[in-house]
Amino acid sequence: MPEKTTAVQPYTIVACVLHWLSAVLIICSFALAFYMVDLPVSPGKVKLFSWHKWLGITVLGVVSLRLLWRLCYPPPRQDPRVPAWQQRIANGLFLVFYILLFTIPITGWVYSSAAGYPVVYLGIKSLRLPDLVGKDRELAALLKQIHGVANWTLLGLVIVHAGAALKHHFYDRDGVLHRMLPILSTLEAKKVQGRL
């Protein structure tokens, strides 16, 4: 198959850094949740739950910055070679991503409040976040379910998103992945120069 990649307009470096930082934080949070959820109750498990909360609050902060940046600096125009229906799906997917990336940490925070466990960011007493609701076991049980469903939904969408990015890069070779990983364009240019 001939190489089809051509120059595409990348996202800003700030948008790229915030995207990949969000990805790393989310992956770490998922990994920690999968590991800790079935552990027996112990001081170690309580510590891991604290770390999980810290990751969630950090994700909330980074995603807030991402949204603010996106509003101030709109993303580059989509590649016209990508079919319109795929562009519509991508736009819809990003909207759902943002909804989930706000919903998940907020429901976790409210769940923690309802369960009677405050969120003390990074373990620093002066960074104790306010309880968003009073202690309420029924509400805590509901929020735990919502938090879980939202997380599984996000995981499914992350897999679809990553699969689509890899499909564009390896099968379509249309440079879509280069928009969020501009270094790929640099590496391909060096590869082409090495052949000349």
Asked if the structure places residue 3 within a domain, the reply is: no
Asked if the structure places residue 134 within a domain, the reply is: yes
Query: What is the reported pLDDT for 87?
Result: 87
Read off the pTM.
0.85
Instruction: CATH number of the domain at 121, please.
Output: 1.20.950
Asked if the structure places residue 170 within a domain, the reply is: yes
What's the CA gap between 154 and 146, in Å, rounded? 12
Q: Is 144 exposed, middle or buried (0-12, 13-18, 19+ CB in 10 A)?
A: middle
Asked if the structure places residue 144 within a domain, the reply is: yes
Domain count, the chain: 1
Query: What is the reported pLDDT for 2?
Result: 40
Query: What is the reported pLDDT for 1?
Result: 42
Range of the structural domain that residue 180 is part of: 13-191
What's the CA gap between 14 and 36, in Å, rounded? 33
Residue 30's closest CA among 110, 163, 148, 123?
Answer: 148
Bridge partners (DSSP) listed for residue 120:
128
Token pair recorded at residue 164:
């689509």
Asked if the structure places residue 166 within a domain, the reply is: yes
CA 117 distance to own-chain centroid: 25
Token pair recorded at residue 40:
């027996």
Please write the tens of the pLDDT for every residue from 89-121.
988 999 999 999 999 999 999 999 999 999 999
Asked if the structure places residue 4 within a domain, the reply is: no
What rounded mean pLDDT belongs to the chain?
89
Judged by DSSP in three states, 30 sits in: helix
Task: Look at residue 184 and tell me whether its pLDDT is greater than 80.
Answer: no
Asked if the structure places residue 8 within a domain, the reply is: no
Side-chain-side CA neighbours of 128 within 13 Å: the count stands at: 7
The phi and psi torsions of 120 (rounded to 5 degrees) equal -110, 100
Kindly report the number of other CB atoms within 10 A of residue 147's CB atom: 22
Asked if the structure places residue 48 within a domain, the reply is: yes
Given pLDDT bands bounded at 50, 70 and 90, which one contains residue 66?
very high
Please write the tens of the pLDDT for every residue from 134-174.
999 999 999 999 999 999 999 999 999 999 888 888 888 88
